[in-house]
Amino acid sequence: SLYSHKEIFLRELISNASDAIDKARYESLTDQSLAEGGEEWKVQLVADKEAGTLTVRDNGIGMTRDEAVEALGTIAHSGTKEFMKLLESREVKDNPDLIGQFGVGFYSAFMVADKVTVVTRKAGADAKHAVAWASDADGTYTLEDTEKATKGTDVILTLKEDAKDFLEEYELRKIVKQYSDFIEYPVVMDVTRSVPDPEDKEKSVEETKEETLNSRKAIWLKDKSEITEEEYNEFYKHVSHDFTDPARTIHYRAEGTVEFQALLYLPQKRPFDIFYQDYKVGPTLYVRRVQIMDHCEAMLPSYLRFVKGVVESSDLPLNVSREMLQDNRIVEVIRKNLTKKVLDTLAAMKKDDLEAYGTFYEEFGRILKEGIHHDFERKDTIADLLLFESTKTEAGKKITLAEYVGRMPEDQKEIYYITGADRAAAESSPYLEVFKEKDIEVLIMTDDFDDIIISGLGAYKEKEFQSAIKGDLDLGDEKKEEKKKEYGDLLELMKEELKDLVGEVRISGRLKDSAVCLVAGEHDLDPKMAKMFEAMGQDVPKGQRVLEVNPDHDLIARMKGLFAADKESGQLKEYVGLLYDQALLLEGVMPRDPVAFAKTLSTLMAEGVDAD
C-alpha cells in the first residue's frame, strides 16, 4: 500500500525536518547559542539533475553520532524489531494496511532511492563533529566522521532510475502542496526561470530565486471552512506518524476564561505500541505558534491516549515546563474540555453510525474502558460507551449496557455477566446453565480486566452487576429451601471431606446439567484475574471457594441414597473427591492428581460397563 504512493517519502522527510526544527527552536528559547547565528528556520529541497540526487536539508537540531546510530541504524531503531516480527506474521500477510501503523518514516526514502546518505551535525556542536551515515538498503550502513559548516541535517537521496521525476520542480511543488502545505516552516527550493534580459528586451536570461512551496498556515488556527478533508488527513499523518487516515477529526476553538484551539484526531487503527509502558500520551502543545512539547500528557487522561493532535493556547507562558503543567489551572481547564469533547464525539459517533463506532471500539474499546477505573467523575459517561457481546447477540455483534437494561424482563433485578477467555468458552460454561434454561441474557466479557472494571462501575442505571461465576445466585427457585434441608446431611459430609479445599458446599442456584461447579465468593477476585495476577508474580489472596451442588442431578440423588444406607461409605468419600476434581476440570484447571483421577475413573467405568 505504501508503494502505490511512493511520493509520500517526501512528506516523511519534510515531517522529520520540521520535527527537528521544532526541537531546535524550542531549545534555543533557553539556550541562545543553539540558534547559531539565528538564520531563518527552513527546510530546503535541492534537486541536482546531473548527480541524480535530491537533498532534503534542515537547520534543525541535528544528531550526534550516537543518536544517528540509534535513530537510523536498522536494528536499534525503536519499533524495528516489532516491525520485522509483524511483517512475518499472518496478520500482515492478510492485511497489508497494517504496515502503515509503523513509523516507517525515514525508511520510506528507500522506495525511491538506491542509496541514502545522511550528513548531520548537532546544534551547538563543533563544525568538525559531524557524521555521515549511508546505506544502500542492503541491511547495513556505514558511519563516518565528517565536517559540516551549518547545524542540522542533509538527507541525500540517490534516486532510482524510475524515480528521477522527483527532481522536477513541478513534481516537487505538487507533492509539497498536497502533503506538506501546513508545515509551519518554509519549504524552499531554488527555482530557475527565463526572464526578459533587462539590457536587451529581445533576449532572455536565466534567473534563479529561492521560492517557498508551502502556504505555512497553521492548520489548527484556520477556520474550518477553509480546510479540506485531505488537508486535515495529511496533517494527521504528520502529527501522528500514522499512514492511515483518521476515523474522526475534532477541530474547535474554545473561548471563555481560557482560550485555546484544538485539532484532535481519533485514529482508525491501534498503534502496535499503545500498550507499552512508555507510550506517549497527549497532544502536541503550542504556545503562540511555538511548539513547546510534542506530547503534553497533562492535557488528556491516559485512557484517551489514542487521541492525536495539536492544542494551542496563548494563555500559557512560552517557557512552560512539564513540571509547571502538572498542577496548572489553565491546563486543568483545557484537559476537562478536551476530555469532554472526545467523549461527546464518541457518543455522537455511536448514535449516528453504530457500525463505525463498533469498528473504532474493536481497536480502542479496551483502552477507553480503563477510564471507568481511573476517571470516577465520568465513569457513567464512559459506561454508556461500552459494548459487549451477550448470550443473545450473534457472535461478533455487540450491544450497549442501555440496550441490555432496556430489554431486561421486569422481574430481573440485576445485570448478569460472565467473564471468560472467549465467547465459546463462556457459552459452554456450566455457570450459564440456569440462565439458558430461564432464557436470561448474560453479557459476555472477554478482556482480562473486565471484572475489575465492572466491580468499579458497580451499577448501571441503578441495576447492579452480578457475575454468573461468583457468589450465590438466586433466580427464584421456590424449592431451594426444601432442597437445602433434604440434602443438608450429604452437604455436611462433603464439606468435612473437602474442608482443606473449599470454604463451603451449598445447593446451587445456577446448575441444570452439571453435577457440581466451583464458584468464587461475591467479593473475591475473578478466577481469570487471579490467574493473571499470579502469572505476574503477585500474591493473590486465596479467597474461600465454594463448591456448588446440583440436587437435580441423578448422581447427587444416588449419592444421597448411598449416604442414607451407609454414612461411612468409603466409596462415597471417593466420589466426593472425584466431584471436586471434576469441578476443577470445568474451570479449565487440572485435577489435583491427574494420574489418580484417571485411575479411579477407569475403575468406576469398568464397574459400569455391562459385559453381557
Task: Say which entry of ligand ADP, Mg ion, none residue 153 contacts (CB below 5 to 8 A, set by partner kind).
Answer: ligand ADP
The piece of 80-88, 103-111, 482-490, 586-594 that touches Mg ion (CB under 5 A) is 103-111
Find the shortest distance in angstroms from Cβ 107 to Mg ion: 10
**Residue 171 burial by Cβ neighbours in a 10 Å radius (0-12, 13-18, 19+):** middle
Nearest to 119 by CA among 216, 46, 209: 46
Q: Please check whether residue 104 is in contact with residue 243, taking contact to mean a CB–CB distance below 8 angstroms.
A: yes
DSSP secondary structure, 7-23, as one string: THHHHHHHHHHHHHHHH
Would you state the cell numbers that stand for residue 182, as one nine-digit string?
Answer: 501546513
Q: Please check whether residue 576 is in contact with residue 555, taking contact to mean a CB–CB distance below 8 angstroms.
A: no
Q: Where in 127-166 is the site for Mg ion (CB under 5 A)?
A: none
Q: Where in 362-421 is the site for ligand ADP (CB under 6 A)?
A: none
Q: Is 267 a residue that touches ligand ADP (CB under 6 A)?
A: no
Find the shortest distance in angstroms from Cβ 45 to Mg ion: 17
Coil vs helix vs strand at 142: strand
Per-residue binding letters, 154-193, with ligand ADP (x by CB under 6 A): ----------------------------------------
The single residue among 8, 10, 14, 20 that binds ligand ADP, judged by CB under 6 A, is 20
Task: Say which entry of ligand ADP, Mg ion, none residue 234 contacts (CB below 5 to 8 A, set by partner kind).
Answer: none
Find the shortest distance in angstroms from Cβ 471 to Mg ion: 52
Residue whose CB is nearest to ligand ADP in the complex, by number: 105
In whole angstroms, give the CA distance from residue 262 to residue 337: 10
Give the nearer residue to Mg ion in terms of CB position, either 111 or 338: 111
Would you state the cell numbers that stand for residue 79, as one nine-digit string?
Answer: 519499533
Binding-site residue total for ligand ADP (CB under 6 A)? 16
Find the shortest distance in angstroms from Cβ 197 to ligand ADP: 40
Q: Is 246 a residue that touches ligand ADP (CB under 6 A)?
A: no
User: Residue 252: beta bridge partners?
Assistant: 262
Find the shortest distance in angstroms from Cβ 270 to Mg ion: 19
Q: Is 291 a residue that touches ligand ADP (CB under 6 A)?
A: no
Find the shortest distance in angstroms from Cβ 290 to Mg ion: 20
Listed in sequence order, the residues at least 6 apart from 116 whose beta carbon sits closer than 8 Å to its beta carbon are 109, 110, 134, 135, 136, 137, 155, 156, 157, 158
Residue 495: Cβ within 10 Å count: 16
Q: Residues in the chain, how many?
A: 612
Find the shortest distance in angstroms from Cβ 155 to Mg ion: 11
Q: Is 235 a residue that touches ligand ADP (CB under 6 A)?
A: no
Give the nearer residue to ligand ADP in terms of CB position, either 153 or 508: 153
Q: Please check whether residue 265 is in contact with residue 235, taking contact to mean a CB–CB distance below 8 angstroms.
A: no
**Neighbouring C-alpha atoms within 13 Å toward the C-beta of 203:** 6
Find the shortest distance in angstroms from Cβ 135 to Mg ion: 17
Per-residue binding letters, 106-135, with ligand ADP (x by CB under 6 A): x-----------------------------
Find the shortest distance in angstroms from Cβ 142 to Mg ion: 22
In whole angstroms, give the CA distance from residue 274 to residue 402: 29
Q: Is 16 a residue that touches Mg ion (CB under 5 A)?
A: yes
The single residue among 105, 152, 271, 309 that binds Mg ion, judged by CB under 5 A, is 105
The piece of 56-64, 182-190, 375-383, 454-462 that touches ligand ADP (CB under 6 A) is 56-64
Segment holding 171, helix H or strand E: helix 169-180
The piece of 9-17, 83-91, 317-325, 464-472 that touches ligand ADP (CB under 6 A) is 9-17
Find the shortest distance in angstroms from Cβ 525 to Mg ion: 43
For the chain, the distance separating the N- and C-terminal CA atoms, rounded to the nearest angstrom, is: 70
In whole angstroms, give the CA distance from residue 310 to residue 296: 9
Residue entry with cell 496478520: 91
Phi, psi of 477 (to 5 degrees): -95, 110
CA–CA distance from 213 to each of 171, 183, 571 (Å)? Answer: 11, 10, 90
Q: Are strands 53-58 and 43-48 parallel, antiparallel or unpaired?
A: antiparallel
The single residue among 241, 398, 528, 545 that binds ligand ADP, judged by CB under 6 A, is 241
Q: Is 60 a residue that touches Mg ion (CB under 5 A)?
A: no
List contacts with ligand ADP (CB under 6 A): 12, 16-17, 20, 58, 60-63, 71-72, 103, 105-106, 153, 241
